[in-house]
Each structure stands twice: as structure tokens, then as C-alpha cells.
Amino acid sequence: MKMKKLMALALAAVMAVSMLTACGGGGNAVSIDRGEVEEILAEAGYEADVSTSLVATVAAKQMAAAIKDENYATIATALAGGVLVDNLPQDMMGACQLVAQENLAANSVTAESFAAGTIRKLSEAGYGPKFAIAIADATTADGVPCYLFIAVTL
């Protein structure tokens, strides 16, 4: 229970700081094959219609801008499986995950499979089947290049 409170506090702090950041100053969007994400989810038994949305893209860029002031270990732990609700319209839910780019490469994991995992968190919580995904690249204060995955319900 203590970890959940810490994660919620850290995520709230990241989101509060991100509100002070202009949208253009964040990480760059990363392209993803949404069809492949849908296939990965279907193979795992999840029905999902995956698209892009401005809300998800803006949230990813804002969080990426805030991440540059945090150390990787601290922020990755705080965001692990985090639920994203701040700065989303009232009828939307979201999930976010942060992963070091080298960890994806070292484990032969594609961005699409990691994106599918982020969407699966929302699906398992009873949301869906329409989702938007956004990915931004960011570098933490200690120099770790990362990908930030944001999934939101539509």
C-alpha cells in the first residue's frame, strides 16, 4: 500500500511539473506500427482498436519533458505500471510506462510489444476496447535514454 501511495505521489509530482512545460519542449514522438500492436494484443486474447490521439501525444510529450529532471531509477520505479489520470479529460483513463532504450534492445523487445503491454494494463482494468497510444523519447537527468509509453482509453 505504501508503494502505491509513493507511486501516486511521484506521478502527481511529474504531472504537476509537466503542466509548467510547453508542449513543444518535450521528447520527440516515436513512430509505432499500431497494426502490429493490435496483433500482439489479439494473440494474447485482448480485443483492441489502437489509434493515435492528440491527448495521448501531448501527455507523452509533457511527461517526457518532466522526466529530464529525474534520475532513471527513481522515475522508472515511480511510473512502473502507473495509472495516468491527471491532465486527461474526465471520461478517459490512461496508463504509462518508462523503459530504458538499451533494456528494450538487450532483451530483444520491440516498442510494439511494450506498447501492447501498456494497453493490456488498461484492458485488464476493464477499459477498452478502443485505445490510443503515444511514445516519446526522453533522456533522464542521469543520461539514460528512455521511451515513455502512454496509452489512453477512447
Q: Which residues contact residue 18 at a Cβ distance below 8 angstroms, ignoring those fewer than 6 apart?
A: 62, 63, 65, 66, 87
Judged against a pLDDT cut of 60, whether residue 15 lies above it is answered with no
Segment 81-91, tens digit of pLDDT: 555 666 677 78
pTM over 0.85: no
Segment 76-124, tens digit of pLDDT: 777 765 556 666 777 888 888 888 999 988 988 899 998 999 899 889 8
Query: 82-84 and 94-100: which strand pairing?
Result: antiparallel
CA distances from 131 to 46, 107, 140 (A): 12, 26, 27
The reported pLDDT for the residue numbered 83 is: 58
